[in-house]
Every structure is written in C-alpha cells, then in structure tokens.
Amino acid sequence: MSWWRSAAIYQVYLRSFADGNGDGIGDLAGLEQRLPYLRDLGVDALWIAPWYVSPMADGGYDVADYRMIDPSFGSLAGAEHFIGAAHEHGLRVIIDIVPNHTSDEHVWFQEALRAAPGSPERARYHFRDSPNNWPSRFGGPAWTQVPDGQWYLHLFDAKQPDLNWENPQVRAEFKSILRFWLDRGVDGFRIDVADRLVKQHGLPDKADPGNPDVPPAYVYEGPGAPDKDRPEVHEIFRSWRRLLNEYDGERTFVGEMWVRDPDRFALYLRPDELHTAFNFAFLRCAWEPAALREVIDQTLETHRKVAAPPTWVLSNHDVTRHVTRYGREDTRFTKRVHDVPTDLELGTRRARAAALLSMALPGNVYVYQGDELGLPEVFDLPDEVRQDPVFRRTGGRDLGRDGCRVPLPWEGEEPPFGFGSDGTWLPQPEDWQGLTAASQADDAGSMLALYRLALRIRRHEPALGDGKLRWLPSEEGVLAFERDPGFVCLVNLSDSPVRVPAGTPLLASTELAGDELGPDATVWIHTEA
C-alpha cells in the first residue's frame, strides 16, 4: 500500500522549529540536526512550510523565487542535503507550493509594475482599471492601486498579488517548478489554497461581500462564489497529476481547501487529481460525542466514494492550538480573541484523548509541531512583535496567527529554551520550562511520551492506518469503534468514568483505574475477539 494512504505526517513551520545558527529564526540546519528527534517521535513524513526566498510578509506564503531557498533558512544546496538526510532517517519530505499568488517582490510582479496597462506582463496577474467588491481574506479590500491608477487583486495581503490562472505562462511556470523540486527528490507537495486559483471569468462582484463586523477570514461563502472553488480549477490539478505520475508513483499531493460542502470537497480527490486533502471539518469540530461522530462518518463516506484516504488534523499554523481550544466552553475553532476563559489542564487532557482518537482513525494523521509537546496558544504577545498581516489588516479585532507559531522550547529553564542563542523571532512565554522536549523526554506521563508511544504502536499495529472502521454500541457520551476485529478505540467524552471492554489495554491517554476509563480520555485495547 502506498505510504501516503496511512502516513503520520509532521508539519514543520520552519522559522519556529529549530535554529541552527543562533539568529533566533528556525532554519534548515536546525531542522537537520533534529531529524533524530523526528525519527524517534515515529512520524513517517514531514511537511515543510514554504522555504523559498520571501520578504516574509506572510511567513513565507509570499514567494519571491520558487527555485531558491530564503537565506534565513539556508541555501539550495542545504535543501538538497536536507532531503537526502531526511530520507536516510526514513522520513519523506512534502514541501509547500503556493500557486494562488506570488510575493509583490517576485520578478514577474516587478515587471508588471514597470509595464503598461494591458501589457503581457500585467496579464500574469489580475490588473483592472477599477476594483470589484471582493474582500481580502485577511481583512480590508482585495484590491490595491498602483501609481498609474490601475488596481491589482490580492485575496490575501497586498504583498501577495494573485496570479491569473487563465494565463498559459502561469500554468507552464508552475509545472516547471513542480519538476524542479521533484527532480531534487521531494516526495510531494502541499498545495496552498488549492480551491482559489481560478476566479470566475471577468471577476464579477460578490452577491454578499460579507458582514463588515466579521473578520473576513471567517466569512463562509457557499458554492457559486466567484473567488473560490470554481469548476475550472480541476483541470489544473489533472494536469499536475499527469506530471506527477511520470515520476515513481509514490509522490503525492495534499490539498489545502477550506471547502465545506463534502461533495464539492470530494471532487478534488478524484483518482486523477489530488491524493489527499486536509480535513478541516475535523479540526473545526467541537469536543462533543455526537458532533465528532457525525464528522467522522461524513468524512469516511466522502472519502469512500472517491477511494481516497482521509486525513485527521487537529492544529496547524493557521488556527488556535487545540490544547487551548479544548480548554474552553466553546471547543470549536472560532475567533482568536484574548478574553475567553481557558482551562489548560482540561484542554491538555482532551488533547491527549484527541491525539489517540486521531491516530486510530483510518487514513493519515497530521501532527503540527508542538502538538507533541502540548503547547497552548500564546495570547500575550506585545502588539509590536506580532507579524501576522491578519492582526494588522483587521485592526487587531482578530489577534492573528502568531500565537500558534511561537518557536519551540527544546531545553533549559528559560527563553530561548535552546532555540537560538539570544532572542527568538517571536518571544516565548517565560514559563515553558515544563513543556520543553528535554523535560518531557524522560517523563512517562508527558505529552511527548504519549505521542512517541502512540506513533510507534500505530506504525506496527496492522489494524491502524488506512482501512475500515466499525462503530460499537456504547454508553451515552462514549465513542467506541473497532478497526480490524480485536482492535478497539474507546473515547470517553462523558463526565463520568466508563468501563473498558475486556482485553489488553495497549495505551490510554490517562491512567486506567482498574477497568475504568475517566472522562475526556481515550484507550486502545486488544479485545478478546
């Protein structure tokens, strides 16, 4: 079976993972030094956030050169070396490709600025004499004016002009970029905002540009919106899949689409398009038994129809960390604001339970760096250090995503916790000494120990990874399912202890009391089948 059907994939947000040269910014040298950590954690693959040359207006999702590594991260030779080293550690490498927009510092956009309205240089982007009513996903209008009076479209920050995918040069260029990295040995691509590449021809106004009181990143627009999920986008991914299939069959695409309608989502996963896509329905779901069961069933049904393996995602670099989400009264992923009471002990207990749940479900599981350390969201960052354009463009109504991107604590008693030698690009909380990788490594009760054990079992247990799931009858507030006969996962979401079925418990997210599992906990059991 292909590795991408069952893999545990670790998301590396490079500038916050590990610092090799001491300047406070994560880099490839730091990542390479920590490959043994990732191998020992037990993941199968790494997904690396954009590592290309970038002015970092959006953490590298604003690419100025798709064939060069940003100097703060290393060099092209360093990237090639890293790919080889990762492979030697048994880790596949998925890189991020950002096809919806470039940086405004990309040579194409610089040429477009110098060229005249109507020129071929401008035709690679969306230039118009007047804007339409589309909002930017990061807040404010999606249009910025240039000195000669024309406007250009940017669905994200003004420093991220959208490419025009009706332009054949744009299509040819990205195929060439895919080949450039495939030839250097990468195992796959995570496709940024895969559903937004193609816009409705003519860029018509939106019927409902959104409620001005809601930060635009949270406005959901249904099917038929002119700026997302257009049917024409599928032809692009079909041509990319044909290209990928020229390589050795084990390379893969994972799509990032915030498309809510399951049937429209499934269209991207047809056998001649993307192999997998992130399951944001699971990420958004409340920590409640009925809601979780519904999302799991919906996910399995959607993926069964197209024979694609599901993915299970709890956190990433765009959302409030789930230890924090699960410690709140409303456990769903909602707005990022300061003043929501949060019980981190409860959130951590649930995060442990959720980790075992997600790893027991069919398909792929994603781990966002720091999940394995149980890191919470960081809220009290001073305004001046915040870098996410979401914070600025919403006038601070949305705190933005810096709080889930704080550099990892590796060791020691105080910042920078083994990350660099001096200050880190975002400050770490003073009190993270108990969350460092070093302090958790030898503590059998730590989040890190749980992840290591769970990932090891997941790798060796034939029932886990892709395959079937069968629900078992259970008490109210309890989710219980069997994978292969004899492997059971039981999640207690009620507020009282429940009895564990007879058999051999393999791993539990909290200690079992006799044959009872406490609230907000998960256990894996080999039952006497």
Dihedral angle sign, alpha carbons of residues 30, 36, 39, 45: positive
Smallest distance, Å, CB 193 to ligand TEU?
5
3-state SS, residue 162: strand
* By CB under 6 A, residue 61 contacts ligand TEU: yes
**Other CB atoms within 10 Å distance of the CB of residue 307:** 10
318, interface contact from ligand TEU, Ca ion, none, CB < 5-8 Å by kind: ligand TEU
Asked whether 428 and 415 are in contact (CB, 8 A), the reply is yes
28, interface contact from ligand TEU, Ca ion, none, CB < 5-8 Å by kind: none
Tell me, rounded to whole angstroms, the distance of Cα 1 from its chain centroid: 24
Out of 13, 14, 16, 27, which residue is the one contacting Ca ion (CB under 5 A)?
27
* By CB under 5 A, residue 69 contacts Ca ion: no
Out of 51, 52, 151, 156, which residue is the one contacting ligand TEU (CB under 6 A)?
156
Binding to ligand TEU (CB under 6 A): which residues in 314-353? Answer: 317-319
Asked whether 314 and 283 are in contact (CB, 8 A), the reply is yes
* By CB under 6 A, residue 193 contacts ligand TEU: yes
Pick the closer one to Ca ion by CB: 390 or 408: 408
* By CB under 6 A, residue 48 contacts ligand TEU: no
Query: Binding-site residue total for Ca ion (CB under 5 A)?
Result: 5
**Residue nearest Ca ion by beta-carbon distance:** 27
192, interface contact from ligand TEU, Ca ion, none, CB < 5-8 Å by kind: ligand TEU
Smallest distance, Å, CB 69 to Ca ion?
12
Pick the closer one to Ca ion by CB: 366 or 419: 419
C-alpha dist (Å) from residue 498 to 306, 341, 479, 521: 37, 28, 11, 10
* By CB under 5 A, residue 227 contacts Ca ion: no
C-alpha dist (Å) from residue 162 to 67, 144, 206, 398, 401: 19, 12, 17, 23, 21
SS3 of the chain: helix, strand, coil, percent, to 5: 30, 15, 55
Catalytic one among 208, 232, 246, 422?
Answer: 246
Stretch touching ligand TEU by CB under 6 A, among 8-16, 66-74, 313-321, 372-380: 313-321
27, interface contact from ligand TEU, Ca ion, none, CB < 5-8 Å by kind: Ca ion
Q: What angle do CA 234, 235, 239 make, to 5 degrees?
A: 120
Out of 2, 21, 119, 421, which residue is the one contacting Ca ion (CB under 5 A)?
21
Catalytic one among 104, 192, 372, 461?
Answer: 192
Smallest distance, Å, CB 54 to Ca ion?
15
Q: Is 246 a catalytic residue?
A: yes
Smallest distance, Å, CB 191 to ligand TEU?
10
Structure tokens at 493: 């979401």
Smallest distance, Å, CB 137 to ligand TEU?
4
Pick the closer one to ligand TEU by CB: 319 or 493: 319
Spatial separation of the C-alpha atoms in residues 140 and 337, rounded to whole Å:
19
Task: State the angle between helix axes of 233-245 and 168-182 in degrees (0 to 180), rounded to the nearest 10.
Answer: 30
3-state SS, residue 456: helix
Spatial separation of the C-alpha atoms in residues 523 and 502, rounded to whole Å:
12
Asked whether 369 and 464 are in contact (CB, 8 A), the reply is no
* By CB under 6 A, residue 137 contacts ligand TEU: yes
Out of 70, 121, 192, 372, which residue is the one contacting ligand TEU (CB under 6 A)?
192
One-letter amino acid at 226 equals P
Pick the closer one to Ca ion by CB: 317 or 352: 317
Structure tokens at 204: 């018509």
23, interface contact from ligand TEU, Ca ion, none, CB < 5-8 Å by kind: Ca ion
Structure tokens at 22: 């001491």
Q: Please tell me what DSSP assigns to residue 435.
A: G
CB-facing half-sphere around the CA of 25: CA atoms within 13 A: 12
170, interface contact from Ca ion, ligand TEU, none, CB < 5-8 Å by kind: none
Smallest distance, Å, CB 234 to ligand TEU?
19
Spatial separation of the C-alpha atoms in residues 338 and 246, rounded to whole Å:
49
Spatial separation of the C-alpha atoms in residues 157 and 152, rounded to whole Å:
11
Smallest distance, Å, CB 62 to ligand TEU?
7
Q: Which residues carry out catalysis?
A: 192, 246
Residues of this chain that interact with ligand TEU (CB under 6 A) are 58, 61, 98, 137, 156, 192-193, 217, 256, 258, 317-319
